[in-house]
Amino acid sequence: MTLQQLEYIIALDTYRHFVTAAEKCFVTQPTITIQVKKLEDEIGFLIFDKSKSPFKPSALGELFINKSKIILREVNELKNMVSTELDSLVGEYKIGVLPTVSPYLIPLISGSFAEKHPDTILIIEEMQSDQIISALQKKEIDIGILVTPLNEPFIREIKLYNEPFVFYGQKGTFNDKKAVSASEIENLDNLWLLKNGHCFRNQVLNICSQSTNPQNIQFQSGSIEALKKMVDNYGGFTLVPEMAINKNDSGRNINFTEPKPIREVSLAVHHSFAKDSLIDAIRLEVLDKIPKGFVKNDRFIKINWR
């Protein structure tokens, strides 16, 4: 017994004509005839008395049809309830965000998002990539914002933007250049890096793997802003995401030549997460606030972190 079969018998009861009922159900007349016959064979009695014209429900058939109408009405109500729930943003949601993304993106979108969705509570925690992946798998968080691709079978990725890397050095560095290539910085000394465990560290090393830290100072930090201050005060250089550059920086920032190295930032959810309305709301807010070139630029080299 299927819901489709119940719809067919209700259509037959309404129109009392097989061809008309089939047309209203958008199927052929043989289809509706075969399915009704299958249903009657399953339940063990005739739903319609076809000895008279027009045919009409049998005594048991009339009871069966009335019950079928109640069932289909309740199913439709259930569908409407689920649809309404999935479209609703009311509730509390947990989001894990990379520490190298969070300080630049979250303040940018939080005020306007809260204003547009006052009944939505976002609990945001800075987490490293491996922690986000693990938390998504265990369903300890609802959404992750991190660098992709992840290539995890249980995770669905929704791309947000491509963010270029920027060279950051002391004033006077590459004064004659408006842009540098990755090959020009490969052999520079004194590269300041984030501590182990940060995917941004791995990406930087994938761009300039030959550079080394100063021998007399070893600095372990999880903050891009701290690395910029080390460059300002002790020399050397680092690479930063473009959104980490601001007009008050003391150092010199230089863009890369095209194709620029970029990191792909995406939303990540478990495949079972069904709140597409929340995903869309966050995605639209991000796309509205980030530099437009992050979305439109198609001349780049994606730097993976694994």
Domains assigned to the chain: 3-87 (1.10.10.10), 91-161+265-295 (3.40.190.10), 164-261 (3.40.190.10)
User: Is residue 35 within 8 Å of residue 5, measured between CB atoms?
Assistant: yes
234 Cβ partners below 8 Å, 6+ apart?
A: 190, 214, 217
Q: 10-63: per-residue pLDDT in tens? A: 999 999 999 999 998 999 999 999 999 999 999 999 999 888 778 899 999 999
Alpha helix locations (H) across 16-58?
Answer: 18-24, 29-43
Asked whether the predicted pLDDT for residue 80 surpasses 90, the reply is no
User: Is residue 136 within 8 Å of residue 150, measured between CB atoms?
Assistant: no
32 Cβ partners below 8 Å, 6+ apart?
A: 8, 11, 12, 18, 21, 22, 25
Q: Given this model, what pLDDT does residue 144 score?
A: 97
User: Is residue 207 within 8 Å of residue 261, measured between CB atoms?
Assistant: yes
Q: Given this model, what pLDDT does residue 52 score?
A: 79
CA distance 191 to 196: 14
pLDDT tier at 280 (50, 70, 90 boundaries)? very high
Whole-number mean pLDDT of the chain? 86
Phi, psi angle pair for 156, to nearest 5°: -100, 130
Asked whether the predicted pLDDT for residue 211 surpasses 60, the reply is no
The first and second tokens of residue 257, run together, are: 């030549």
pLDDT tier at 268 (50, 70, 90 boundaries)? very high
Q: Given this model, what pLDDT does residue 214 score?
A: 53
Q: Given this model, what pLDDT does residue 298 score?
A: 62
CA distance 164 to 53: 75
Contacts 24+ apart (CB under 8 A), 109-116: 109/282, 109/285, 109/286, 109/289, 112/285, 112/288, 112/289, 113/281, 113/282, 113/285, 116/281, 116/285
Asked whether the predicted pLDDT for residue 300 surpasses 90, the reply is no
Give the H or E element holding residue 76: helix 59-87
Q: Given this model, what pLDDT does residue 212 score?
A: 54
Region 238-258 average pLDDT: 87
Q: 108-131: per-residue pLDDT in tens? A: 999 999 999 999 999 999 999 999
pLDDT tier at 259 (50, 70, 90 boundaries)? confident
